[in-house]
Amino acid sequence: MSINNQFLSNLDQINLGAITDIESEIDSCDMVSLLFLLYEDPQIALQNLTVYLRVSKDIGGSTCNLLQEWVTRAQKRSTWKTELVEALATCQLYTVIRKLGIDPTTAKSLSRKDSDVSNTYIHPMKKICYTVCENLDSQNFKSFKKFIMANKPDIPDHESCEYAKKVKKCRQFMTNL
């Protein structure tokens, strides 16, 4: 069996039960990262993450099933399993990937454009933002937060309007941290 066929066969084994099994092994920081990468609508992700972080803070753990919630929404797309594995690989959650029966080396190849397994499903800018945030130390995070809070783009063209909305959402989220 080729790597591609083996990968696809293993993807077929991923179901809601498997998600339930792995969800408890993902810590809160990694869960935030996964949902950032997976949700197409940042507003829904932000709402779910806000509830998750409040529950985690209040009871010292979480009973939220955020990954299951995403799966329930994403199952409408035929690519949801590949998206999940790509996000897990981006977050370097190789133990979780193995528990799903996927070879981590194959999962890593999802991010590469020359992969024979698949094209990338997670937006490249999300991956870049994830990588930047992952590599920030506390001092650089404070500087980054200060920059985001102070950045008030006032550019009228259409492309920048989307940017301005994203900066505004980011500023709102940072205010709640």
**Which pLDDT tens digit goes with each residue over 124-144?**
888 888 888 788 787 887 787
Question: What are the sequence ranges of the domains in the chain?
Answer: 3-123, 136-177
Portion of the chain with pLDDT greater than 90, in percent: 21
Distance in angstroms (rounded) separating the CA atoms of residues 84 and 70 = 10
| Of 19, 135, 9, nearest in space to 75 by CA | 19
Under 8 Å between Cβ of 81 and 14: yes
| Of 11, 144, 23, 146, nearest in space to 79 by CA | 11
What are the distances in angstroms from CA 69 to CA 64, 82, 88, 129, 151? 9, 17, 16, 23, 33
Q: What is the pTM of this model?
A: 0.74
Residue 155 confidence (pLDDT): 42
Binned at pLDDT 50, 70 and 90, residue 97 comes out as very high
pLDDT at 75 over 80: yes
- Where helices occur in 39-157 by DSSP H, the ranges are 42-59, 66-74, 80-90, 94-99, 104-108, 124-134, 138-150
Q: Tokens 């990468």 appear where?
A: 37
